[in-house]
């Protein structure tokens, strides 16, 4: 029988991927190894401190050369460390090499969001659906600085580096949601650079891909409108980390009341924020940059037409 993935413990989150069992075994091995030897060595030291303290009338004795003892306490730790190196390295290699026929997902990191591209070319920001029990290979890169893709429930972490592809392999084996963090400090909103991996069965995964580029039926409790779908896309793609919706200053201009008002464009005169301006600013953000915001560049976003329409519909509601 296959061992069952373990629930969360005091030290580790619930296991949701095949590799978790091996990693956790290593973790607890190193942990208890350290605890036992720390307590043992400190305990014996304290005992000797007391037993061999200076007493009146006693002279220190000469100890003959303890070669055998020295060999013992040198070789034993070397064997332990050799075992640890072997076990850790083979666990590491398993995460670095994907299984044959693994599903390839393209991951793009940028300040401060994760974008995912499925094998069929559909894209999604902030969440990734994966079928359960299917090996996955992430091909990752970064648009700006070094980020680190970290999924504690999968016991998986790898840097996403600008100008370089990095790989991470795992096989989710439990249905449910796994939290993704950025584990490399990357600027102001580093702690908000989050995503979810949603592990479902094959059928739900296919259904999700079919619906991905279409307007969903429900947005929260209510049926979706272009504006409420637009709001979902706005949040999921991490836009609020740079654009406030209440007029407050952030890394990018606030989007409160942006539609239909003149925007002061750096290097040229004001431009009215109509549908064309908003569309261009979403797809090619650096074509026209609002004055005062030229130091931080917004990365370009890839959306299908209905999605751009929905986001514009949402921006119109921010009065």
Residue numbers at the binding site for ligand CUA (CB under 6 A): 112, 147, 182, 184-186, 190, 193
Which residues are CB-contacts of 103 (< 8 A; sequence separation ≥ 6)?
119, 130, 131, 134, 135, 136, 137
Report, in Å, the least distance between residue 184 CB and ligand CUA. 5
- Closer to ligand CUA at the Cβ: 114 or 259? 114
Rounded Cα gap, residues 213 and 229, in angstroms:
11
Report, in Å, the least distance between residue 186 CB and ligand CUA. 3
Report, in Å, the least distance between residue 274 CB and ligand CUA. 33
- Closer to ligand CUA at the Cβ: 178 or 182? 182
Report the candidate in 108, 311, 124 with the shortest Cα–Cα distance to residue 205: 124
Report, in Å, the least distance between residue 281 CB and ligand CUA. 23
CB of 39 within 8 A of CB of 47? no
Report, in Å, the least distance between residue 242 CB and ligand CUA. 13
Report, in Å, the least distance between residue 182 CB and ligand CUA. 3
Encoding tokens for residue 14? Answer: 């619930």
CA triple 239-276-296, angle to 5 deg: 40
């Amino acid at each position: 029988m296959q061992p069952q993935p373990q629930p969360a413990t005091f030290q580790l989150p619930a296991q949701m991927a095949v590799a978790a069992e091996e990693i956790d075994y290593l973790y607890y091995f190193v942990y208890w190894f350290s605890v036992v030897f720390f307590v043992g060595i400190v305990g014996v030291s304290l005992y000797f401190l007391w037993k061999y303290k200076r007493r009146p009338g006693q002279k220190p004795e000469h100890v003959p050369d303890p070669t055998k003892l020295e060999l013992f306490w040198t070789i034993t730790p070397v064997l332990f460390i050799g075992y640890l190196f072997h076990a850790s390295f083979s666990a590491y290699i398993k995460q670095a090499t994907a299984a044959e026929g693994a599903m390839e997902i393209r991951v793009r990191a940028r300040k401060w969001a994760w974008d995912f591209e499925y094998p069929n070319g559909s894209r999604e920001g902030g969440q990734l659906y994966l079928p359960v029990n299917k090996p996955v290979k992430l091909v990752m890169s970064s648009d700006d600085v070094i980020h680190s893709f970290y999924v504690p429930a999968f016991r998986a972490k790898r840097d996403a580096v600008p100008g370089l592809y990095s790989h991470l392999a795992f096989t989710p084996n439990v249905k449910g949601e796994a939290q993704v963090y950025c584990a490399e400090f990357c600027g102001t909103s580093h702690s908000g650079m989050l995503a979810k991996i949603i592990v479902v069965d094959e059928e739900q995964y296919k259904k999700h891909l079919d619906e991905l580029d279409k307007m969903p039926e429900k947005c929260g409790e209510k049926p979706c409108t272009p504006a409420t779908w637009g709001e979902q896309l706005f949040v999921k793609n991490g836009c609020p980390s740079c654009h406030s919706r209440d007029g407050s200053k952030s890394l990018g201009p606030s989007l409160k009341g942006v539609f239909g008002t003149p925007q002061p464009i750096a290097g040229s005169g004001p431009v009215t924020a109509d549908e064309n301006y908003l569309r261009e600013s979403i797809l090619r953000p650096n074509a026209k940059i609002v004055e005062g915001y030229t130091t931080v560049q917004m990365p370009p976003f890839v959306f299908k037409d209905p999605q751009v329409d929905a986001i514009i519909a949402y921006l119109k509601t921010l009065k």
